[in-house]
Amino acid sequence: MLHEMGGWHPESPARLQAIEDQLIASRIDTYLEYRQAPAADIADIGRVHTPEAIALVRDNVPQLQSGQASYFPLDGDTSLNAFSWKAALAAAGAAVAATDAVIAGEIENAFCSIRPPGHHARPTEPMGFCLFNNVAIAVRRALEVHGLQRVAIVDFDVHHGNGTEEAFANEPRVLMASLFQHPFYPYSGTDSSCANAINIPLPAGTGGALVRRLIAEQWLPALHAYRPQMIFISAGFDAHRDDDIGQMDLLEADYAWITRQIKDVAKLHAGGRIVSCLEGGYNLSALGCSVVAHLRVLAGLD
């Protein structure tokens, strides 16, 4: 909640508060088990990011000056404030802790309500609101620490997860399935040579009917054929009709449907094991309602 990049910035602490408010208003908060995020170990982050990328965040955090906020710009829309390093460790740590808990059988699935988001963070540098790639860090832990051999990553953010794809390009232990608006930032995902990536670029204005058909035709057969032992979700809700950062036309019911398909795959092949991590979503009302729809399915309340 203390990491912020300026009052003008859409990736703001208000996003997490909007989610919490909608969970309470929907009355599903009492069905959820809340856990505090620990800080990630540098060793976990280092399985994905270079020492230079880690140092870029750690060593450039500005100090508070007479209580006034100050910022260190990493790119045109990504900055650090005094609390960004700790927030980045907590976001990655939540994904790691969720992975450990799901694999240990303590819980069947988890949603990490975290920021900063992660799927644009490249192994070599932060990018696009993202400091460290939370999902990629969690996946590496599942592979290297827990010994999983087949892991799927599903990304339905309005932007292509270029950092995640770069981190696992042609990695046979990882299948990546994503959809995103195109042409759109970061202008990637359509010329990929990754044999393990199923990318669905979509024109602006695409609605739920086409998204559901393409998922049924392209994602689901590949996921069932791959038989993942665990599924990770980059859960971006900025393809919602009311979110001005993109120009897609999805609704809460579409996010519930997508989640249900992923959950069915996980139930059949992975013992239900899912870790979902918040990525985008910047219209506060649409974000909160979409996360509720997502969690209703994950929690079996739908």
Which residue numbers are catalytic?
Answer: 120
290/278 Cα distance (integer angstroms): 11
Q: What is the DSSP string of 167-199?
A: HTTT-TTEEEEEEEESS-TT--SSS---TTEEE
Distance CA 67, CA 21 (A): 28
Helix H or strand E encompassing 155: strand 151-155
Closest CA to 103 of 270, 223, 262: 270
Amino acid at the residue 298: L
CA dist 84 and 30 (Å) reads: 30
Check if the beta carbon of residue 118 is closer than 8 Å to that of residue 132: yes
Of residues 149, 192, 185, 151, the one with CA closest to residue 169: 192
Question: Do the beta carbons of residue 200 and residue 192 sit within 8 Å?
Answer: no
C-alpha 274/C-alpha 219 separation (Å) is: 16
Contact 40, 89 (CB under 8 A): yes
Using CA atoms, how far apart are residues 23 and 20, in angstroms rounded to an integer?
Answer: 5
